[in-house]
Amino acid sequence: MTRPATFDPNNQTAALLPILAHIQSHLDDDLSLAQMAEKAALSPYHFHRLFRSTIGETPKQYTQRLRLERAAFDLKIRDATILEIALNWGFQAPETFTRAFKGWFGVTPKQYRVSYGRALHQQRTTNTTLLNSLATETSCSRVTIQKLKPIPVAFIRHFGAYENVDTGQYDRLIDWADAHGLYTGDNLLLGVGHDDPNITPVEKVRFDVCLSVPEPFQAEGNIGFQTVSGSHFATMTYVGPLDAGFDQVYHTFFQQLGQIKNVELIGLPVIEIYRTTRINPAYALNETDIFVPVRVNNQ
């Protein structure tokens, strides 16, 4: 007689971790219940039950929420129409997108874009503590081409190796902005790398720790103001810890970029936008959007 398999909650929960990383970086792909369950090596029934009990949302609710949050993020940074953003995240009709967006954020996409920085919406959280304690998976999206808006930022410049950047400077920028009425709770956290460490002497390599701000200001101490230029960028989303090193991520990025026709790499700076309100380098499900400037050649 075959003995039934013993249910191990920890092992079953661990099965979700690569799925979560995959979902976060492949929101524009097929994320059906059957496809996700197969990737987790579980039946659709058991996958659905485990996912809901662990995350607090069904797989459909979770992916819908992430797509809406991703659309909201695009409304902040992309120079694209609301319709383009809706279609990009799987909403086939603008009315459907507007209704779902307002149902989650309490405002329409247009109102959100106009009022960005005024903290109109309420942040919502999910149960990720257990998942983060177990997660080791990383994932990268496919490279796409997007046009960004210019982003005004407060920044602190770091000189030296990129891996030695003090991420505590982000907290310092947030505290400074809060004290000066420039912190809304919805500011973007960015990193801007100006130099190629394979060319520039390591002690001269420049990296700007940046926080988006709603308006220009006069420089104060070592906190300056600049506008991160808007243009066409090749972009990829990386899901994983920030302290794991990005060498492989960038290798994958440029490998994919080389396969895209009619796009010419024009160099630096490289921009990283961290989809969080506080930097935690070790957090296993960090989402980082990488942007490299490109020229789009007409056919």
- pLDDT the model gives residue 9: 41
* pTM for this entry: 0.69
Q: How far is 107 from 109, CA to CA, in rounded Å?
A: 7
| CATH fold of 139-296 | Multidrug-efflux Transporter 1 Regulator Bmrr; Chain A (3.20.80)
Count CB atoms within 10 A of the CB of residue 224: 16
Q: How far is 177 from 200, CA to CA, in rounded Å?
A: 32
**DSSP H/E element including 50:** helix 44-55
- pLDDT the model gives residue 30: 78
Residue 126: closest CA among 27, 32, 24, 40: 24
- pLDDT the model gives residue 2: 29
Please list the residue range(s) of the chain that carry CATH number 1.10.10.60: 9-134
What 8-state DSSP symbol labels residue 258? T
| CATH fold of 9-134 | Arc Repressor Mutant, subunit A (1.10.10)
Residues counted in the chain? 299
**DSSP H/E element including 224:** strand 224-228
Query: Which parts of the chain register pLDDT below 50?
Result: 1-10, 118-137
**In a 10 Å sphere around its CB, with 0-12 CB exposed, 13-18 middle and 19+ buried, how is residue 234 labelled?**
buried
Contacts of 149 (CB under 8 A, 6+ apart): 77, 78, 79, 230
Please list the residue range(s) of the chain that carry CATH number 3.20.80.10: 139-296
Termini Cα distance of the chain: 67
Give residue-wise pLDDT tens across range 185-233. Answer: 889 999 999 988 878 888 898 999 999 999 999 888 889 999 998 889 9
